[in-house]
Amino acid sequence: MKEPKFSRLKEDIKAKIVHSEWKAGDKIPSENMFAAQYHISRQTVRKAIGELTEEGYLYAEHGRGTFVSERTIHTRTSKNIAVVTTYLSDYIFPRLIQGIEQVLTANGYSIMLKTTRNSRAAEARCMEELLSKDIDGLIIEPSKTQISCRHTSLYDQMDEYGIPYVFIQGYFEQMKKKPYVLMDDMKGGYLITKYLIELGHKNIHGIFKADDVQGQARHKGYVRALQEAGMLYDPDSVTWFYTEDREVKPRETISGAIQAETPMDAVVCYNDQVAVEVIRTLREFGKKVPRDVSVTGFDNSLLAKNNHIPITTISHPQDKLGSMAAELLLRLILGEELTEQELHIRVEPEIVVRDSTWKR
């Protein structure tokens, strides 16, 4: 369906306001200037400006022109909280959202739920939309946290409007002082790798996600456990994958290692989803799990519990993380003075031992 002609102009004007290129009180270009720049009629320009005026972005003064308005949409209590996650699958996210919802509902709040599919562009669009909504706070799982965030201006706008926000399950490096609730992923990677070493494994491969801080931290824990045990870290034994190739790269890695007859008696996986695919691939090549190769996951999801070979993994109390994030946000909304420890919450991981690991 073809986009209405006024839509591009409307979105461009809104973006300049949201990103503070045009500030409150600034006069915007005339209808004639917009018409010439966008090759549209003045009537079309008028429609775009009219809608932005109705939405509170602009106001007109007779004989003077049209100006950027002081945004008043966030000056009153709405009892709405926005929750933005990367996915809404049946993996760990429903329990995460359930934990958030239980706390917020008990305190009289409603949830506006959005998803980004781990896309930076989609996250920016969500933020822009939320800045035009009536919300009291935001809980957000940021997208691709290992890559520098290019839309920090949108978070700055949240600060300017007095809308508190809490990061969950990750944060951007340049915003690490902002409130967050997350797992101690490095310790989790360390504990699961140390456990395999204690079982007698010597050739431990690792598969980690490259574009989020969880993957980087779990890898650091893996390295620390190897070093502590006096085992050589071999970069060729580590596979990095990105969001876009998460369904292909882990399988290709294991297939290639088996075909090349690379020594491998254990695999530390970024999460339970990867572990399931690794076990499936090993079985396709006639390898027995765990007798030939032990496999571990991360998250203690239903996938790990219900797999035909239940998976040894790291606990990830999703509902607890959700409830803790909601409780922290409510304290921020109330304007409580919080310590650094209260603002930056890390949940301790624990190993859940099942049938996918074997003592050598």
61-81 tens-digit pLDDT = 888 999 988 765 565 678 999
Cα dihedral 72→78→81→82 (10° resolution): -40
Residue 320 contacts residue 92 (beta carbons within 8 Å): no
What is the rounded average pLDDT of the residues 87-112? 91
Query: 185-317: what CATH class?
Result: alpha beta
DSSP per-residue string spanning 232-292:
PP-GGGEEEE-GGGTTTHHHHHHHHHHHTT---SEEEESSHHHHHHHHHHHHHTT--TTTT
Residue 266 contacts residue 205 (beta carbons within 8 Å): yes
The residues near 82 (Cβ < 8 Å, ≥ 6 apart) are 111, 112, 113, 114, 130, 133, 135, 137, 138, 139, 140
* Same fold: 5-68 with 80-184+319-347: no
Residue 112 contacts residue 135 (beta carbons within 8 Å): yes
What is the rounded average pLDDT of the residues 16-31? 87
Tell me the whole-structure pTM to 2 decimals.
0.80
Please report the pLDDT score of residue 90 as a whole number: 65
Helix or strand run (H / E) with residue 24:
none
Please report the pLDDT score of residue 24 as a whole number: 82
Residue for token digits 């996250």? 123
Can you give the residue ranges of every domain in the chain? Answer: 5-68, 80-184+319-347, 185-317
User: What would the pLDDT profile of 192-241 be if each residue is shown by its tens digit?
Assistant: 999 999 999 999 999 999 999 999 999 999 999 999 999 999 999 999 99
For domain 80-184+319-347, give the fold.
Rossmann fold (3.40.50)
User: What would the pLDDT profile of 114-144 be if each residue is shown by its tens digit?
Assistant: 999 999 999 999 998 898 788 999 999 999 9
Please report the pLDDT score of residue 63 as a whole number: 86
DSSP letter assigned to residue 2: P
DSSP H helices, the chain, are 5-18, 31-38, 42-54, 93-106, 120-131, 152-160, 185-198, 213-228, 249-259, 272-284, 302-306, 318-333, 340-343
Q: What is the mean pLDDT of the chain?
A: 92
Please report the pLDDT score of residue 19 as a whole number: 76
Residue 193 contacts residue 221 (beta carbons within 8 Å): yes
R_g (Cα) of the chain, nearest Å: 25
For domain 5-68, give the fold.
Arc Repressor Mutant, subunit A (1.10.10)
Q: In what order do the strands lie in the sheet with 165-168?
A: 110-115, 80-85, 137-140, 165-168, 180-183, 344-347
Provide the pLDDT confidence category of residue 1 given band limits of 50, 70 and 90.
Answer: very low
Judged against a pLDDT cut of 80, whether residue 5 lies above it is answered with no
Distance of alpha carbon 228 from alpha carbon 255, whole angstroms: 29
Distance of alpha carbon 263 from alpha carbon 237, whole angstroms: 9
